[in-house]
Amino acid sequence: MRAYERLIKYARIYTTSDSTSETCPSTERQLALAGLLAEEMKEIGIIDAKVDEYGYVYGTVPATPGLESRNSLGFIAHMDTSEAAPGDNVKPIIHENYSGDDIVLGGGTVIKTATFPFLKDMVGETVVTSDGTTLLGADDKAGIAEILTACEIIISSNIPHGKLCIGFTPDEEIGRGADKFNIEGFGADFAYTVDGGDAGEIEYENFNAASASIKIKGFSVHPGDAKDKMVNAINVGIEFQNSLPYFERPEHTEGREGFYHLDEIKGDISNLEMYYILRDHDLSKLEEKKDTMRHTAKRLNEKYGEGTVTVELRDNYRNMIEKIRPHFHLIETARKAVRLAGLEPKELPVRGGTDGAVLSWKGLPCPNLGVGGFNFHGCAELASAERMDKATEIIVNIVKLYAE
């Protein structure tokens, strides 16, 4: 079975995580995919595949006799999909021999070449999308599909290999994918997450990340008698937002430029809550952003009264590069594997985070590989069957190189 065929099967299973839940996994529906994956792993020869009490899927492919001394190598992907777009009732559509034109889908979704110029490079490929009313789920069901397809190839073809450790996580999209990951039980010396963009991408730098919860307490009186009395929490919230650097928003940044992102706002005149994510590749600049939020709250409290604005800051994850540098053979091997697949490596800083960033800081060095997918977290998401084949080939090549 080709990787894209597995993706289509997995995409139909509803696995959106829930950031408001306090359980692990955050949604029971993720367990449906977890159970299916464990059974499929057993069918291809991963006999110890299992789902643990938190919904994580684990399995191992024992080393080829004589290669037990090689490093144990892990491959990890996540099962959940983002809350940013509908993830239920996904209906994958296959566009064979793609023409290079705009892709018109249902729900008013048009994947335009003017907006996404990389589409012109995909002429002739088999492109997979949703029907336009949901996301597709290539993030990260494409990664799962490629890992299992690579395992099937390695096992069925008797390709020499060291011990391979396979792991699929819940709740990556809400920043909890590595929380309950059993690194010791997983058994890998090093690992790769397969959760990036185009095939051939190698990512080993990511944002340092923090989140901010802003609570604003207003004072409501009748608007006809409000002069010098009312404190409108909504207006204070607007003032807080407008006090942050305008050009340090996601829509104005790229590359290694960090940002403040107002992710959610709710409330009324009396009480308002605002939720931000803060990102920067440079840790010192992230700390500056946190300080800016504290100073903004201090200034507004001086203006409107102590206790009007409170700020709660929480660190989420760190840049993995600090933990990858001492094990740079992971990157050098990935480069070789990409070139063996006929591609040129693309090394990009991740404008986000992966399970691998958290796992790297927990002691499992874990850079990230591309999957052949694009436009994640929206109804314009798509994947290329041919690029998924290349991503699978790259995984197999890595395994071969570490067995030499």
Write out pLDDT tens, residues 128-158: 999 999 999 999 999 999 999 999 999 999 9
CATH 1.10.10.10 fits 3-206+319-403, yes or no: no
Q: What average pLDDT does the segment 212-234 reach?
A: 97
Q: What span, in angstroms and rounded, lies between the C-alpha atoms of 362 and 357? A: 9
Report which of 3, 73, 1 is spatially closest to residue 389, judged by C-alpha positions.
Answer: 3
Compute the distance between CA of residue 366 and CA of residue 358 in angstroms, rounded to an integer: 9
Q: Can you give the pLDDT at residue 167? A: 98
pLDDT at 290 over 90: yes
| pLDDT in the model for residue 113 | 97
Q: What is the pLDDT of residues 56-70, one digit of tens each?
A: 999 999 999 999 999
Question: Quick one: angle between helices 3-11 and 385-403, nearest 10?
Answer: 120
Active-site residue numbers?
80, 172
What pLDDT sits at residue 317?
Answer: 87
Contact 260, 311 (CB under 8 A): no
Alpha-carbon distances, residue 315 vs 190, 200, 210, 356 (angstroms): 25, 30, 4, 16
Distance CA 283, CA 23 (A): 30
Residue 352: predicted pLDDT: 81
Q: Specify the pLDDT at position 391.
A: 98
Measure Cα distances from 150 to 187, 225, 291 in Å.
19, 70, 46
- How much is the average pLDDT of 268-294? 97
Per the CB < 8 A criterion, the answer to whether 19 and 83 are in contact is: yes
**For residues 218 and 222, what is the distance between their CA atoms, to the nearest angstrom?**
13
pLDDT in tens, 152-177: 999 999 999 999 999 999 999 998 99
pLDDT of residue 354: 81
Encode pLDDT of 85-117 as tens digits: 999 999 999 999 999 999 999 999 999 999 999
Give residue 301's pLDDT: 98
Q: Tell me the percentage of the chain whose pLDDT exceeds 90.
A: 97
Residue-wise pLDDT for 295-349, tens only, equals: 999 999 999 999 999 999 999 889 999 999 999 999 999 999 999 999 999 998 9
pLDDT at 251 (0 to 100): 96
Give me the residue label for tokens 């095939």: 199
What is residue 156's predicted lDDT score, i.e. its pLDDT?
97
* Amino acid present at 297: A
CB of 113 closer than 8 Å to CB of 119: yes
pTM of the model: 0.88
pLDDT of 348? 87
**pLDDT reading at 353 higher than 90:** no
Tokens of 49: 């595949």
| Residue 118, pLDDT above cutoff 90 | yes
pLDDT mean over 9-29: 97
Residue 284's Cα: distance from chain center in Å? 24
List the domain boundaries for the chain: 3-206+319-403, 208-317
CATH topology for the 208-317 domain: Alpha-Beta Plaits (3.30.70)
DSSP letter for 126, please: -
Q: What is the pLDDT of residue 350?
A: 87
